[in-house]
Amino acid sequence: MTITASTTVAEIAAAAPATIKVFQRYHIDFCCGGRIPLSDACANHGVDTDTLLAALRAAPAAADDPADWHHAPLSDLIAHIQMRYHVPLRAELPRLAGMLEKVVSRHGDRLPEVLIPLRASFESLQR
């Protein structure tokens, strides 16, 4: 996806989830209030559009792991998995929990059959 000033905030967040952290850093709503062009969101929050565009375009995408784990010792593979996936996940869980609670509080009454089980699954994962 090409991110431009006319792309809506919600479209950017949906197409490139790594941009969500950028929107959060600038306090820009990417969910319910995200149906506006990026330029409008920048104007509403006093953010330079070019600065935000650069930050969004630089948001990390899922990186490929160039290592060949077929011949590595199992202990190295385990350490790699823990550092690459488990440590960042533990750091992300509180942020994700907050986002989930916000969605449930705003939309749980309209989508209880989806959001309540989602929250239960998330809580299980978090434990």
Task: Give the pair of three-digit tokens for residue 15.
Answer: 């197409």
C-beta of residue 104 within 8 angstroms of C-beta of residue 119: yes
Instruction: Tell me what pLDDT residue 69 has.
Output: 82
Q: Residue 126: which residues within 8 A CB-CB, separation 6 or more?
A: 93, 97
Instruction: Tell me what pLDDT residue 60 has.
Output: 75
Instruction: Tell me what pLDDT residue 65 has.
Output: 63
pLDDT per position as a tens digit, 17-62? 889 999 999 999 998 889 999 999 999 999 999 999 999 999 876 5
Give the predicted TM-score (pTM) of the model: 0.66
Q: Residue 107: which residues within 8 A CB-CB, separation 6 or more?
A: 115
CA distance 76 to 126: 25
> Domain residue spans in the chain?
9-58, 74-126
CA distance 62 to 81: 15
- Summarize the confidence of residues 82-106 as an average pLDDT: 92
Q: Running DSSP on this structure, what letter comes out for residue 48?
A: -
Residue 23: name the closest of 111, 32, 89 by CA.
Answer: 32
**Percent of residues in the chain assigned helix, strand, coil, to nearest 5:** 65, 0, 35
C-beta of residue 126 within 8 angstroms of C-beta of residue 92: no
